[in-house]
A = this chain, B = another copy of it.
Amino acid sequence: MAGYKRYRKESEVSYSLGITLTFELLKYKAEHVTRIFIHSGMKEGETLGKLTELSKAAGIEIVHTDKIFHVLSQKENCYVIGEFRKFQGTLTADASHIVLVQPSNAGNMGTIMRSALGFGITQMAIIRPAVDAFDPKTVRASMGAVFSMDFVYFDSFEEYREAFGERELYPFMLDAEMKLYEIRPKRVFSLIFGNEATGLPDEFSCIGTSVVIPHSGRIDSLNLPIAASIAMYEATKPKI
C-alpha cells in the first residue's frame, strides 16, 4: 500500500484537520466521508466514543495511524483527520450570492465562507484563476462552513453573469458610485469582490452599482474577509 501524500488540488479527496472540524464534516457531509484517521495521541473518552459511534453509524472506516498526520498537519494537537470526497454545489437564481473574483488566499476564502454562512448567504461564485475551496487551509479557516456552503467555479465573470446576471449586482471597489450604507437591496443580490492585492478591474464600475466601504486615507484598504463580511452584514441586516 502506498504511503500518504500531500493534498493536491487535483486530488479527488480533501481533509478536515482536527476533531472539531471533523465533527462538522460528519454532521453536514457524512455521505461524502471516506475515512476517519485517528492518531495514537488521541485520548480515550467521550469525544472519541462519539466520533467512533458516528462513524460506525454512517458506515465510515476508521483508520488508526500516525503517518498521515506527519504528511498533512503541522499542528501539534491535531489527532483526528477526516477524509472526504469533494462535493459539487449548485447556485440558484433566487438566492443572494457572494462572488469572489480571482481570490488568492485559502485562509481568506474560508473566513469569508464562515461569515457568509453566519449572515445567511449560503451560495458563493468563484471566478478563476482562484484558490482551491477544498484546500485543507480553506476548510480549516471556514471552521466547517465549507460543508454547508454551495459554491461553484466559473471561468470568467461573464460566464457567471450570463447565468445569474438578472439580479442586483454590487461590485466593491474604491472608486465607486455608492457608499455601502446607502445601498438598499430590494431583491436577490450579488456582492462582488476582487483579488486581495489588485481588487476588481476598472471595467466592473459599469456593472450594476459599484459600492465602496468608506475608510480613512490612513489605510490602503480593509482586508478582504473584513470588507466582505461588513458588506454581507449591511446587505442582510433588517432595515430599521
Interface residues of A (CB under 8 A from B): 111, 114-115, 117-120, 143, 145, 148, 180-182, 213-216, 218-220, 222-223, 225-226, 229-230, 233-234, 237-238, 240
Interface core residue of A180, A213, A229 (most chain B CB under 10 Å) = A229
Interface core residue of A148, A180, A237 (most chain B CB under 10 Å) = A237
Which B residues touch A240, using CB under 8 A? 181-182
- Verify A145–B218 contact, CB threshold 8 A: yes
- Verify B148–A218 contact, CB threshold 8 A: yes
- Verify B114–A222 contact, CB threshold 8 A: yes
Which B residues touch A234, using CB under 8 A? 233
How far is it, in angstroms, between the C-alpha of A118 and the C-alpha of B230 when the chains are bound? Answer: 13
If A181-B238, A238-B181 touch, whether A118 touches B218 (CB-CB below 8 Å) is yes
